[in-house]
Amino acid sequence: MQVNHIHDFHLNHEDAFLNLQMELKSQIQLTKSITADSLKTCAGVDLAYWEEDGESVGVCSIVVLDVNGRNIIEKVHSVGKINVPYVPGFLAFRELPLIIEAAKKLAAEPDVFLFDGNGYLHHNHMGIATHASFFLNKPTIGIAKTYLRIKQTDFEMPDDRVGAYTDIVIDGEVYGRALRTRQGVKPVFLSCGNFIDLESSYQIAMSLVNQESRLPIPVRLADLETHALRKYYQENKKFAE
């Protein structure tokens, strides 16, 4: 898959991170580009980290799903040492090098990427799903398992029924949704990444949920794959494929 080169990652201070976020933020397009009915393939993206000999190591897994048959058509991953320091609010800079490396290995070009993380639901509207979209040049959706509290704003718990949601509104703007994908199970936190609108993101996410998890199928599969790969690399102490 072709991946755009938007910027380098040789950054070491918050001002540089923030300037890039603000530059990209002005280019976000939350407009309808694809619907659940027209979706043919989708990808789930997840990352996991661990410490090895005092250094941070990460693995990224991308799992591509055929939507109609619900079968996996491709799996790729990348693994390596993490060179970008963790700075709150700028996690994407730490995760993107591995995501880009994995995406370049894809033979398929998924219609949409679903990330285990936030998108527009971020202090600067630049969570991993949004930031990654500029490199991938595809519609992206963020599905977070935990709530990122912004400007001291809490979310309202949705009703306990499948598909129920409450919009997360901060300073009069909708950042995302607290979404109940399964009854009796904690909600997930849905937000647009980029090149897609919130209603389409909601419809796509709901169309990809089954009884096995509150997460959409591609995100769940990427999560399982990432944890299996982390275990493998930890046991074998091998960071290159």
Tokens standing for 97? Answer: 């090098």
What are the tokens at 226? 């990432």
Q: Which residues of 73-97 are buried (b: 16+ CB within 10 A; e: fewer)?
A: ebbbbbbbebebeeeebbbbbbbbb
Rounded distance between C-alpha atoms, residue 129 and residue 132, angstroms: 5
Both tokens assigned to 104: 């370049």
Q: Where would I find the beta strands (DSSP E) of the chain?
A: 41-52, 55-66, 71-81, 112-116, 140-144, 165-170, 173-179, 188-194
Structure tokens at 44: 């789930």
Determine phi and psi for 188, rounding to 5 degrees.
Answer: -105, 170
Q: Confirm or deny that 15 is annotated as ligand binding.
A: no
According to the annotation, is 46 in a ligand binding site?
A: yes
Rounded alpha-carbon distances, angstroms, from residue 187 to 3, 139, 178: 32, 23, 6
Annotated binding residues for Mg(2+): 46, 116
Annotated binding residues: 46, 116
